[in-house]
Amino acid sequence: MSYANARKEVFNLLNGVNMAVEEGKVTALIGGNGAGKTTLFNIISGFEKDFKGQVILEGNDVTKMPAHKIALKGLGRLFQGRQLMDNLTLMENMKIASDDTTGESPFEGLFCRKRVAKSEAAKEQRAIDILMKVFGEDNKYLGMLNHKASELSYGEQRLIAMARLLMGNDRLLLLDEPTSGVNPRYIDTFRTIVRDMVEKEGQTVLLIEHNMSFVRSMADHCHYLADGRIIKSGPTQFVLDDPVIRKDYLGL
């Protein structure tokens, strides 16, 4: 696929990118700042439509679909720099990530109390199960379910934003720099969440990450994006040990 910038200037940020993501694996997308990694994520998740090419998700062409429909097809996303909705409580933030939308139409919300109550209870239970699985049986977040998300630190919000992706039944998860700006102490928790996603939930993960030790320990495959195309693809070790990438990207 190719992408020109919004003013349709001649230079192509992405120019002939062809990338496959293997099901049930963790794939990392690496590249320098401004290489177009986030733009590529925006194209895959349907937020950027001004490009030439095709996006295929599990055999379905989702190129022309609006973003929310692609999400319903099983695509989850963690945005760079965005965290939880700070005016919602921790529990509300978990619930909105569920793929069960019972009560989210005004009439159902007003008149179908029993059905809504049942679905809300199921979502609450699922949220608690996920928090216990990720942060341990007796974690502090269980006592903060009705606190506003703004009471949590940036790193904690990032962790919960990751954990809540487990609420949906997504097939492919796009994680944009999950560990950036996060205390190193939390990195292991991120590893646990990503492992859970792949090994227990059978999800596929594509991540953008500048933390190379995280990439080495988590990613099965790696794509290196530079000059608008995928320069190198393969097993993580193979890509990261490439002399050109070591010199141009890692500065070694």
If we measure between CA atoms, which residue out of 144, 214, 223 comes closest to residue 177? 214
120-153 b/e with 16+ CB inside 10 Å = b?
beebeebbeebbeebbeeeeebeebbeebbeebe
Nearest-angstrom CA–CA distance, 34 and 124: 40
Applying CB under 8 A, does 178 fall inside the site for another protein? no
Nearest-angstrom CA–CA distance, 89 and 86: 7
Of positions 2, 48, 92, 242, contacts another protein by CB under 8 A: 92
Applying CB under 8 A, does 223 fall inside the site for another protein? no
Applying CB under 8 A, does 67 fall inside the site for another protein? yes
Q: How far is the CB of 151 from another protein (least distance, A)?
A: 14
**Strands across the sheet with 51-52, in order?**
12-15, 2-4, 51-52
Of positions 15, 21, 47, 220, contacts another protein by CB under 8 A: 47
Applying CB under 8 A, does 124 fall inside the site for another protein? no
Applying CB under 8 A, does 109 fall inside the site for another protein? yes
Of positions 4, 19, 72, 226, contacts another protein by CB under 8 A: 72
In the complex with another protein, which residue's Cβ is closer, 13 or 75?
Answer: 75
Applying CB under 8 A, does 139 fall inside the site for another protein? no
If we measure between CA atoms, which residue out of 49, 10, 14, 8 comes closest to residue 35? 14
Q: How far is the CB of 61 from another protein (least distance, A)?
A: 18
Applying CB under 8 A, does 19 fall inside the site for another protein? no
Would you call 94 exposed, middle or buried from its count of C-beta atoms within 10 A (0-12, 13-18, 19+)? buried
Q: How far is the CB of 98 from another protein (least distance, A)?
A: 9
Applying CB under 8 A, does 108 fall inside the site for another protein? yes
- Which residues are near another protein by CB under 8 A? 45, 47, 66-69, 71-72, 76-77, 79, 82, 85-88, 92, 95-97, 99, 101-106, 108-110, 116, 119-120, 168
